Structure 1
């Protein structure tokens, strides 16, 4: 499909469902990193849309993808740089996203594990949010993100996991599936 930044390839799978999950991989990773996650989400009656490569994509591209697929309301997921893009897309946009689940990235206004603040002026995400981290080193970043989320907030810590979608797909899929429920 086409987007303002150029042509974008997406993988759509799973059952026809009223719940769709948009997944954004880390920079340099293909959509395949989410294969096991998607399989588990499909078993939970969730439809998935995975962007093949996020390199060069911005928020306008994500909205173009959603508009092209006629998806007015989705659950948003990202890992690594895909999580950074997910924060940028969800921040300050109430009503377009049902939830946000990110791996290994806190809100851009919070200092990361290296002390870098990516965007001090980033608005709050107005959706229920889960941050999944692979080590205690990211705990302060994750906890500090709570003040930039206006919905319900959770942190899931998995010890010793470097690439959460690839090495802890069941845990990541569970965090996503829990966010899609209305409880």
Structure 2
């Protein structure tokens, strides 16, 4: 994959772009502290499925405006989004609201920000619902009840898949890639 530094305003991020030139792209957002190559195995599988990947190396200081700037710089009009941990939090924010630049969402380790967490706290009660097809991956870091409750904030097809791992990107790359491919297919 080619590494590219993209500047948006006064901030810059490194992204790794790979796969076939295709109109079907997947934006991958890592958790805080993930190594830059956390999605390499997932990307290899997605490339075999004829998908272009855009893996952000770090989500530190990245916000929705920064993501839009990165996608604009890369010339990507529409993208499927996948994230885990803090990357999943950003993914929920990005995809909140009506259908537009984002086509589908696959998240692990985080429920919708307006859904109560396992301890009953709500991270962002004003978070907008998502009007896309969404898959939430239940891992050791996300209780099933939180994933199920997130369905109230999804106005599209909603799936919950249980995977008994800590890090879905490294321990279950095949399952994560499969869920992303299922969401990118229009059949």
**TM-score scaled by structure 1?**
0.95
The RMSD of aligned alpha carbons is 1.3
For residues 121 and 41 of structure 2, the distance between their equivalents in structure 1, rounded to whole angstroms, comes to: 32
Match of 1:102 among 99, 107, 110: 107
CA–CA distance in structure 2, aligned partners of residues 52 and 148 of structure 1: 28
1:175 is matched with 179
CA distance in 2: counterparts of 1:182 and 1:54, whole angstroms: 29
Q: SS of 1:9's equivalent?
A: strand
Shift of 1:116: 2.4
Distance in 1 between residues matched to 2:36 and 2:185, nearest whole Å: 24
Report how many residues are paired. 182
* Gaps in structure 2 of 5+ consecutive residues: 1-5
Of 36, 40, 50, which residue of structure 2 is paired with 1:31? 36
SS at match of 1:110: coil
Moved over 2 A (4+): 113-116
Superposed CA deviations along residues 44-95 of structure 1, whole A, max 9, x for unmatched, are 1100000011111111101111111111100011100000000011101421
The 1-side partners of 2:82 and 2:133 are apart by: 12
Q: Distance in 1 between the 2:33 and 2:166 partners?
A: 15
Instruction: Report the TM-score, using the length of structure 2 for normalisation.
Output: 0.93
* SS of the residue 2:135 aligns to: strand
User: Does 2:127 align with 1:126?
Assistant: no
Which of these residues, 37, 55, 66, is aligned with residue 50 of structure 1?
55
* Alpha-carbon distance between aligned partners in 2 of 1:6 and 1:136, rounded to the nearest angstrom: 31
Uncovered stretches (5+) of structure 1, i.e. residues with no partner: none
Once residues 139 and 5 of structure 1 are traced to their aligned partners in structure 2, the CA distance between those partners, rounded to angstroms, is: 40
The correspondence for 1:166, drawn from 164, 170, 173, is 170
